[in-house]
């Protein structure tokens, strides 16, 4: 049995993970999604990190930290302070040491990649929730999600990812094949450039924890297996990948 600690993206709603939590628990794992004070201008990444560390606690079970979207800025800060068995990024932002989320967009070319994918796919380039986040989410879940949505405080976009190097932990990058916000090929490029990792395809769009929870849970569980999770590596951005020995 392993303990999965799941970090949401911007907005900080733990509810986002509820279908994956149920799927992981049905497989005999522990799973906890962390609620983050995303709208609090006095909080931000250090506070998020402390809350995730509290959720990990003193668990004796193998621990996997899972981060979605902007949660990718918090996850490495957590893993730099607490040894874990695996770090799993799901449609996530991959930061460099000291980078801010506000600077990440231009540094990675994410908006240009999103626009190019929209032109190729024949859907609007201008961002809206229905097109880029909710296109494959069941309508009832999309309506409930809107009840949990809240704005991300500006402070979180200005604080650096406070790590000196990428944590020495096996890292799996899971990229939604239908993600319109962070297109699949864009995620593959960033994973390779910044982590030396081959991103693994998983079904669904940016919010695939709601649209494809079973498939995502299966892949998360497999990432803990050093054989099945073969593409997981640990490494230092800019320094090339190393296979984690665990």
Could you tell me the domains of the chain? 2-236 (3.40.50.1820)
- Find the mean pLDDT for residues 189-200: 98
The answer to whether 204 and 138 have CB atoms below 8 angstroms apart is no
pLDDT at 226: 60
- Find the mean pLDDT for residues 136-154: 93
Predicted TM-score (pTM) of the model is 0.91
pLDDT band per the 50, 70, 90 thresholds, residue 44: very high
pLDDT exceeds 60 at position 105: yes
- Find the mean pLDDT for residues 18-42: 97
pLDDT at 1: 75
Task: Give the mean pLDDT of the chain.
Answer: 91
């Amino acid at each position: 049995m392993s303990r999965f600690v799941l970090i949401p993206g911007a907005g900080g709603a733990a509810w986002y993970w509820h279908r994956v939590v149920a799927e992981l628990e049905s497989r005999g794992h522990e799973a906890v999604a962390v609620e983050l004070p995303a709208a609090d201008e006095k909080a931000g990444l250090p506070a998020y990190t402390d809350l995730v560390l509290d959720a990990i606690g003193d668990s004796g079970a193998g621990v996997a930290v899972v981060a979605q979207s902007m949660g990718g800025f918090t996850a490495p800060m957590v893993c730099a302070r607490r040894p874990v068995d695996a770090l799993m990024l799901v449609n996530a932002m991959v930061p460099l040491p000291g980078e801010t989320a506000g600077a990440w967009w231009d540094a990675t070319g994410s908006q240009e990649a999103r626009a190019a994918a929209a032109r190729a796919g024949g859907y609007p380039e201008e961002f809206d929730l229905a097109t880029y986040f909710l296109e494959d989410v069941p309508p009832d879940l999309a309506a409930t999600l809107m009840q949990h949505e809240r704005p991300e405080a500006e402070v979180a976009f200005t604080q650096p990812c406070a790590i000196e190097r990428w944590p020495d932990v096996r890292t799996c990058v899971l990229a939604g094949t239908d993600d319109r916000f962070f297109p699949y090929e864009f995620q593959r490029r960033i994973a390779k450039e910044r982590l030396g990792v081959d991103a693994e395809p998983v079904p669904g769009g940016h919010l695939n924890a709601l649209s494809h929870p079973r498939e995502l849970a299966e892949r998360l569980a497999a990432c803990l297996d050093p054989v099945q999770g073969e593409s997981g590596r640990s490494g230092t951005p800019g320094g090339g990948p190393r296979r984690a020995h665990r």
